[in-house]
């Protein structure tokens, strides 16, 4: 019997969106330097490079990071202070809102799984504060359907590190990983990480994952679904 179903956030609970990181970080830099376009452009480029560097290191180390560390890395690269300011973060966050909307199939899918007695959780690799994600899930009326949400910004490790998956298993109260399923869009982060700790894994293969974020991995999901609404039928026989 499946006791818990745990979901990735970006690209799974929320449909994949193409993102220009420079545009996103320019919103932050424009708050710092509203009257100095060249300086704002320089800071935005440094922030993009810093974030990409952090994600690149994750492929080998799986060490979690937070936005404050991205800003600190950019400051170090530029050799001068780059303030970590709430109003700049608010502008950066607002630029991301278009990519945060929950798939309309999530709520009925969660309700169907809950009706079968499954606990429900989220595990996401993210540099953003938990409150951002949880505000968006509340906005879309699904946050209260989850028993636990675990964000790597609150952990030492990101997916696919075993401790990230063990954290969410503990949060939903599952002691036998084979009775839990992880649903995600990335073969390396999601499928290999879940199966390495003994969970089953379902792949939702619709995200156009950037080449620099891909890691070749010889792993096979237990199922592939094209829509989240397909999930309850797939799990019915497990």
Averaged pLDDT for residues 213-230:
90
Q: Is the pTM of this model over 0.85?
A: yes
* First-last CA distance in the chain: 6
**CA 59 to the chain's CA centroid:** 14
User: Do 80 and 180 share a structural domain?
Assistant: no
User: Do 12 and 44 share a structural domain?
Assistant: no
User: Do 205 and 164 share a structural domain?
Assistant: yes
pLDDT of residue 237: 87
pLDDT of residue 222: 97
Rounded CA separation 80/71 (Å): 11
User: Do 129 and 108 share a structural domain?
Assistant: yes
User: Do 138 and 118 share a structural domain?
Assistant: yes
- On the question of pLDDT at 40 being above 80, the answer is yes
User: Do 91 and 80 share a structural domain?
Assistant: yes
Tokens of 14: 């929320």
CA dihedral 26, 31, 35, 40 (to 10 degrees): -30
Domain end: 98, 133, 156, which one?
98
User: Do 87 and 124 share a structural domain?
Assistant: no
Domain end: 49, 75, 98, which one?
98
Contact 182/200 with Cβ under 8 angstroms?
yes
User: Do 91 and 124 share a structural domain?
Assistant: no
Q: What is the pLDDT of residues 135-173, one digit of tens each?
A: 999 999 999 999 999 999 999 999 999 999 999 999 999
User: Do 119 and 63 share a structural domain?
Assistant: no
Q: What is the pLDDT of residues 185-217, one digit of tens each?
A: 999 999 999 999 999 999 999 877 777 777 788
Q: Which residues pair with 132 in a beta bridge?
A: none
How many domains does one find in the chain? 2
Domain end: 37, 66, 98, which one?
98
User: Do 217 and 125 share a structural domain?
Assistant: yes
Instruction: Count CB neighbours of 117 within 10 A.
Output: 10
Contact 224/205 with Cβ under 8 angstroms?
yes
User: Do 141 and 25 share a structural domain?
Assistant: no
Domain ranges, residue 47: 21-98
Q: For residue 107, what is the domain's CATH number?
A: 3.40.50.1000
User: Do 181 and 192 share a structural domain?
Assistant: yes
């Amino acid at each position: 019997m499946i006791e818990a179903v745990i979901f990735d956030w970006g690209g799974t609970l929320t449909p994949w969106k193409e993102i220009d990181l420079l545009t996103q970080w320019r919103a932050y830099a424009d708050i710092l330097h509203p009257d100095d376009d060249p300086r704002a452009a320089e800071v935005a480029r440094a922030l993009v490079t810093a974030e990409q560097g952090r994600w690149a290191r994750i492929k080998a180390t799986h060490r979690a990071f937070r936005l404050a560390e991205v800003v600190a890395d950019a400051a170090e690269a530029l050799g001068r202070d780059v303030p970590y300011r709430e109003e700049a973060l608010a502008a950066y966050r607002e630029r991301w809102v278009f990519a945060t909307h929950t798939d309309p199939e999530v709520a009925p899918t969660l309700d169907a799984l809950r009706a079968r007695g499954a606990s429900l959780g989220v595990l996401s690799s993210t540099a953003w504060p938990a409150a951002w994600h949880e505000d968006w899930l509340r906005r879309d009326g699904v946050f209260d359907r989850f028993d636990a949400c675990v964000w790597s910004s609150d952990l030492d490790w990101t997916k696919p590190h075993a401790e990230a998956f063990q954290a969410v298993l503990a949060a939903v109260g599952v002691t036998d990983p084979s009775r839990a399923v992880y649903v995600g869009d990335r073969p390396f982060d999601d499928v290999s990480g879940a199966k390495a700790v003994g969970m089953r894994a379902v792949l939702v293969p619709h995200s156009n994952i950037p080449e620099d974020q891909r890691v070749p991995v010889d792993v096979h999901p237990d199922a592939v679904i094209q829509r989240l609404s397909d999930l309850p039928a797939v799990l019915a026989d497990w």
